[in-house]
Amino acid sequence: MHKKVAQDKYQHHDYYGIDALLTEDHLLARSAVREWVKKEVSPIIEDYSNRAACPTHLFKGLADIGAFGPSLPMEYGGGGMDEIAYGIIMQELERGDSGIRSMASVQGSLVMYPIYRYASEEQKQKYLPKLGSGEYIGCFGLTEPDHGSNPSGMITNIKDMGDHYLLNGSKMWITNSPLADIAVVWAKDEEGVIRGMVVEKDMPGFSAPEIHGKWSLRASITGELVFEDVKVPKENVFPDIKGLKGPLSCLSKARYGIAWGAIGAALDCYDSALRYSQEREQFGKPIGAFQLTQKKLAEMITEITKAQLLAWRLGSLANDSKATPAQISMAKRNNVDMALNIAREARQIHGGMGITNEYPVMRHMMNLETVLTYEGTHDIHLLITGMDVTGFNAFK
């Protein structure tokens, strides 16, 4: 005898009572973003993804719900919340789509954060309020066609011309670049030292062609950055940061958000698979009654729960400014891998229906292939952990 159990979509999301560790502010932020995603993202995302179109109208809404720089100070366009609130917001956005979370990650952690942390006060005032309100869209240019995992080999460069710098080179795989009003760009000076700067879209010699043909992150727009003798005013170059630790510090912020975000994608796949397993019948009973399906679902919620605990503890460390880059790497790697495995298992539970856009699973699965690679690949993060525990640097 079997029975069909009515499920509240979110009832199994907190298997270990982690909500008890959250504050009222965290829970409020979560429900506000969750409602926004349900209303603004879920109804349109399959269509935009199908057409490989970016829902650019969502930038304003993302700004309104405080998704850009949630943990940056309010006077600089941020949300003034803590790191756990930032993580929870990324989780709820990625429950909708990794591309929507990407919009927020880039704007907040890779554009607003470096300007907040490294630019002059005048530059902060010039750019941050417009970025926080969504009036400006920003992008982050580190990766080059021949330098992805190894950004220290970059060849994009600036030359001191006295009253300005001349910027030459190109960047590849840049989220939001074709839409961006400004780009935070990393380039080497004449001494070979990596410097950061803000490049504005109207500067002559700067273009940002779109990259087409992605099977992943299709609702997110990706492009190149091309610099041909671009005159960059001296005041646009960050005065106080030199070397690769500049861009890597921004990546730490964004990787932290991804560690939380991936849980959202995993939860959406798990929800869909759980409900399907209770509704779909084969051999005279729901497929959820078969032990092999239960194994998949039990392992999914176990892995999600472990990832939630990792993210929560990382968030507590980050709130005390104690989260190390290696701890962030571990969480980014584990949680994205977890989400991708769950998407693949959830796809199987949906049978043939799993490959269609009737369900969100295949879209999440394709998106997560990018998430596994950007912000440091799965194997690069493994090597960061390896270096941390052994003391041997496999990159040198």
Which residue's CB is nearer to ligand TGC, number 105 or number 216? 105
- Provide the H-helix boundaries in the chain: 24-36, 45-50, 58-64, 83-96, 98-105, 113-118, 121-132, 245-279, 291-319, 325-349, 361-373, 378-390
The mark string for 276-315 relative to ligand FAD (x by CB under 6 A, - otherwise) is ----------------------------------------
Please answer whether residues 117 and 111 qualify as being in contact, where contact means their C-beta atoms are separated by less than 8 angstroms.
no
Least Å distance between CB 24 and ligand TGC? 29
Assess 143 for contact with ligand FAD (CB under 6 A): yes
Q: Which does 141 bind (CB under 5 to 8 A by kind): ligand FAD, ligand TGC, none?
A: ligand FAD
In the bound complex, which residue of the shown chain has the CB atom lying closest to ligand FAD? 148
Closest residue by Cα to residue 175 from 230, 217, 215: 217
Q: Which does 379 bind (CB under 5 to 8 A by kind): ligand FAD, ligand TGC, none?
A: ligand FAD
3-state SS of the chain: helix, strand, coil percent to 5? 55, 15, 30
Which residue's CB is nearer to ligand TGC, number 52 or number 380? 380
Rounded to 5 degrees, what are φ and ψ at 22? -95, 155
Q: Tokens 């209303």 appear where? A: 39
The neighbour count for residue 32, using CB atoms within 10 Å, is 14
Which residue's CB is nearer to ligand FAD, number 142 or number 349? 142
Which residues of the chain form contacts with ligand TGC (CB under 6 A)? Answer: 102, 105-106, 140, 142-143, 149-152, 175, 243-245, 248-249, 251-252, 254, 325, 374-376, 380, 384, 395
Least Å distance between CB 327 and ligand TGC? 10
- Rounded distance between C-alpha atoms, residue 61 and residue 58, angstroms: 5
Q: Which does 222 bind (CB under 5 to 8 A by kind): ligand TGC, ligand FAD, none?
A: ligand FAD
Among 106, 230, 263, 372, binds ligand FAD (CB under 6 A): 106
Which residue's CB is nearer to ligand TGC, number 68 or number 374? 374
Among this protein's residues, is 94 annotated catalytic?
A: no
Assess 52 for contact with ligand FAD (CB under 6 A): no
Which residue's CB is nearer to ligand TGC, number 140 or number 206? 140
By CB under 6 A, the count of residues binding ligand FAD is: 22
Q: Which does 15 bind (CB under 5 to 8 A by kind): ligand TGC, ligand FAD, none?
A: none
The neighbour count for residue 149, using CB atoms within 10 Å, is 13
Q: Are strands 164-175 and 157-160 parallel, antiparallel or unpaired?
A: antiparallel
Least Å distance between CB 98 and ligand FAD? 9
Please answer whether residues 296 and 345 qualify as being in contact, where contact means their C-beta atoms are separated by less than 8 angstroms.
yes
State the amino acid at position 195 in one-letter form: R
Contacting residues for 164 by C-beta, under 8 A, at least 6 apart: 231, 232, 233, 234
SS (H, E, C) 93-127: HHHHCHHHHHHHHHHHHHHHHHHHHHCCHHHHHHH
**Enzyme catalytic residues:** 375
Judged by the rule CB under 6 A, the positions of this chain that interact with ligand FAD are 106, 139-143, 148-149, 173-175, 217, 222, 370, 373-375, 377, 379-380, 383, 395
